[in-house]
Amino acid sequence: MASPSLRCMVTALRSFLRFLHATGRTPTSLVPAVPALKAWPRTTLPSVLQARDARQLVAGCDTSTPSGRRDAAILLVLLRLGLRAGEVTGLGLNDIDWRCGEMTIRGKGGRNDQLPLPVEVGEAIAVYLRGGRPPSSSRCVFLTVKAPIRPLSPDGVGTLVYRACERAGVTRVGPHTLRRTLATETLRSGAPMSEVAQLLRHVDQATTSIYAAADAQAVAALAQPWPGGQR
């Protein structure tokens, strides 16, 4: 896979060649003469949190305060359901079916999916709705805690996760790392790839295979011994 410095060099060279052609210094554009760099698949393991550190994120929330109740509910939604930040902020009050124990997730491309509502997640959301969510005409579940009260943004979810990491004393990660953590832990528990793909709502199962690489032990088990060497 091409290094970042080589990619920068190619980009700069192409920009220079475009300049030469645009200013009439070369009669034709020489940009096509610069070969494209090969883009290899991911060669590094995606980052995930250990299960212990993930639990610490939730445990670090002060649920005696409105903001702590909200943060705990959001972290559990991220960790137990693997939602994207935008899906968390797009969750509406009408999307939760308390009787059936389901949630409607409005994902990419206008796709809607029904997911089971885990008891732990449902309880955390209920605690927030009863004693943490400020009065508002908005139908979004998660709101800001300071005026002006408005729906929480995806960037706000990211900031919330960063602060939770700081409180818990773990490596600073973003919301998508919690999604990868769920995928990895589900695979480690013995679930097939198809089940993880369904959990994450991937249309293409090949996308899910990226998350499998996060399990270093599982990847190492697939390695074959080098001919004439020792494993």
Kindly list the catalytic residues.
84, 108, 176, 179, 202, 211
Q: Which residues contact 219 (CB under 8 A, 6 or more apart)?
A: 45, 212, 213
**Taking Cα atoms as reference points, which of 48, 44, 37 lies closest to residue 4?**
37
CA quadruple 87, 160, 117, 142: dihedral positive or negative? negative
Strands across the sheet with 102-106, in order? 96-97, 102-106, 112-116
The 3-state DSSP class for residue 215 equals: coil
Cα atoms in the Cβ-side hemisphere of radius 13 Å centred on 46: 21
| Joined tokens for residue 146 | 């300071």
